[in-house]
Amino acid sequence: MPPLTLATQLLHVLAAGLLMISFAMLSQRRTRRLIFLLAWQGAVLTASTLLAARTAHLPHLYYSAALTLVEKVWLMPWILMRLMRRLGIEGDSDPLVNIPTLMLVGLGLVIFAFGLAQPISSLAITVTRQTLGVAMSVVLLAFLMMIARHKAVTQVIGFLAMENGLFFAATCMTYGMPMVIELGIALDLLVGVFIFGIFFFQIREQFDSLDLHQLEALKEE
Partner 1 sequence: MNALALIGQLGGVVLAVAMAPVLAGWVAQCRAWLQNRTAPPLLQPYRTLRKLFRKDAALATNASPLFRTTPYIVFGTMAMAAAIIPSVTTDLPMARVADAIALVGLFATARVFIALAAMDIGTVFGSMGARREMMVGFLAEPALLMVLFNTFLMFGSTALPTVVEDTVNTHGLLLHPSLAFAGVAFVMVLLAENARIPIDNPSTHLEVTMIHEAMVLEYSARHLALIEWASWLKLFNYACIGFALFAPWGIALHAAGPLRLLFAVIWLVAKLAVAGAVLAVIETVSAKLRIFRAPEFLSMAFLLAVLGLLVYLLLQS
Residue 107 binds partner 1 (CB under 8 A):
yes
Closest CA to 153 of 67, 221, 85, 97: 85
CB of 122 to partner 1, least distance (A): 9
User: Under rule CB under 8 A, which residues in 39-98 are in contact with partner 1?
Assistant: none
Q: How many residues bind partner 1 (CB under 8 A)?
A: 28
Residue 202 binds partner 1 (CB under 8 A):
no
Closest CA to 84 of 190, 191, 194, 197: 197
CB 132 within 8 A of CB 124: yes
Q: If DSSP codes are grouped into helix, strand and coil, which group holds residue 218? A: coil
**The binder of partner 1 chosen from 12, 30, 60, 204 (CB under 8 A):** 12
> Distance (Å, rounded) from C-alpha 17 to C-alpha 6?
16
**The binder of partner 1 chosen from 53, 134, 139, 185 (CB under 8 A):** 134
Q: If DSSP codes are grouped into helix, strand and coil, which group holds residue 30? A: strand
Residues that bind partner 1 (CB under 8 A): 1, 6, 9-10, 12-13, 15-17, 19-20, 23, 27, 99-100, 103-104, 106-107, 110-111, 114, 117-118, 130-131, 133-134
